[in-house]
Amino acid sequence: MDYIGLTLGLVLPWLLGYSVLLALGWPVAEPDSGGIALRLGYGYVIGTLLLTAWMRAVSAAGMHFGWLTTSVPPFVLTALLIVWAWRHGRVSSRLFGAISLRSLPRWQRFLWVGLASWLVLRIASLAIEVAWRPLYPWNAWTEWATKARVWYGLGHIVPFAGASEWLTGAPAYFDAAPGNPATVPLLQVWSCVALGRWDDSAMNWPWLLTLIALALSAYGALRDRGSAPLVALGGCWLIVSLPLLDVQVALAGYPDLMLATVYALAALALYRWSVRRDWRDACVAVILALSCPLIKHSGAFWAMTLVPGVVATLLPGRGVKLLGFALGAGILVLLALTRWDTAFLGRHLDFEPSWRSLIAGFLLLGNWHLLWYAAIALAVVGSRHLVQRPLAPLAMIAAAVLILVFIVFAYPAAGAWIGDSTALSRFALPLAIVLVFLGVLLWNELTKHVPANAIASTAAARVADA
């Protein structure tokens, strides 16, 4: 019975987020063009954010975490939203139709099924890791799970304090990072509440579900932008097969996967808004962007890197040029800082890059496969497309993220000030997801066939000029 409760608890945020998006009428897309995958993927992420926000409210109201206080109101809200959406004609049986592969050539259907089977097997192997491995990573149980254990035991949120404050006798608990946001520990608390007991292995299932939600969102977003089913699934496979991304699931407990997923989905929703100008896309992007700091303090800086995408969307012509000048000026400032001993907010920004570790981590070791090689090659070949619509907003976001990653790499003190002193590869996880999506879209632009009438017109013009 306990695992039935755990299953219901894991499904709850998915139902909650899906019903919210259903009532909102998002996404506006045909079912066979990625709409159902988008709603499923985004639904889980938004549902987890809403559920943890409700748990904060439960604790602030003086109540204890339990099945009645934590799950009943979200379940009731889910039912009301589904009824409201059904009465307003937003529930259609077409949304639950199967993926149509009949239009694909036979070899593409076999390859699509093969890739899908590969993904299922990979997720199944990660599920075994989550089920069998107890809480393992160092930071996971010194900075995050400590809060989950205390909050589960007490039934509500209590403050944590640093060593100096705790030693003075302050009424607070102590761990290695007392100021960390509560979202990740609350998800672990809810898993244990749903299970009915503390279990440092079963509480990590949300990491696997986050990976599944990311895969569904990536497939749906690529299909929504006109990618063929095989290309969209290939992009999804590229993301799920990233070794460092899978490590975040197998060694669950770190917040990096959740931050990377929330940020990447915010970037994709913003990109969708830049193309369609639908206010619902903007709402989803804003909600996810504002949620980044609720997962990790550095999420505030990740959210700011979305601003160039907004500028490139609102100012299609001048915006890219202005951002280009700003990018150049930012690079000059960073280079100038390497020549002087600069202090910022009490911290010395010493230029201490480790180029060998950067090259090894990104290009030589098995963290990313060939992601960075492919990204560099595509950027060189398709540079013209990256500064033009429709890719310019997403490309500007990627450029801003590259600067942020370089700052953390080259100035360790800046990384501590930003609030993220983790390894550079883990810090760059959101960038990797955005680059895969941007790379697939760029590949679509590069391989797009030119209509035959356009070729004929060009040939006629050349003959006339001759």
Closest CA to 390 of 273, 219, 227, 238: 273
The lowest-confidence range among 221-235, 282-296, 422-436, 438-452 is 438-452
Look at residue 1 and tell me whether its pLDDT is greater than 60.
no
Tokens matching residue 197: 């007991």
Rounded to the nearest integer, the mean pLDDT of the chain is 85
The 3-state DSSP class for residue 254 equals: strand
**148-196 pLDDT, tens digit each:** 999 999 999 999 988 778 777 777 888 888 889 999 999 999 999 999 9
Question: What's the rounded Cα separation, in Å, for the pair 394 and 402?
Answer: 12
∠ CA 345-181-61, nearest 5°, is 125
Q: What was the pLDDT predicted at 290?
A: 96
More confident residue, 107 or 282: 282
Q: Would you state the pLDDT for residue 449?
A: 58
Whether the predicted pLDDT of 218 surpasses 90 = yes
Element (H, E) at 174: strand 173-174
Q: Which of 68-82, 300-314, 369-383, 452-466 has the lowest mean pLDDT?
A: 452-466
Q: Is residue 383 exposed (0-12), middle (13-18) or buried (19+ Cβ within 10 Å)?
A: exposed
111 pLDDT more than 50: yes
Contacts 24+ apart (CB under 8 A), 281-288: 281/26, 281/27, 283/24, 283/26, 284/21, 284/26, 284/42, 284/46, 287/46, 287/49, 288/45, 288/46, 288/49, 288/262, 288/263
Q: What would the mean pLDDT of 390-417 be, rounded to a whole number?
A: 83
Percent of the chain with pLDDT over 70: 87
> What pLDDT does 325 receive?
79
State residue 465's pLDDT score. 46
Confidence check: pLDDT of 59 > 60: yes
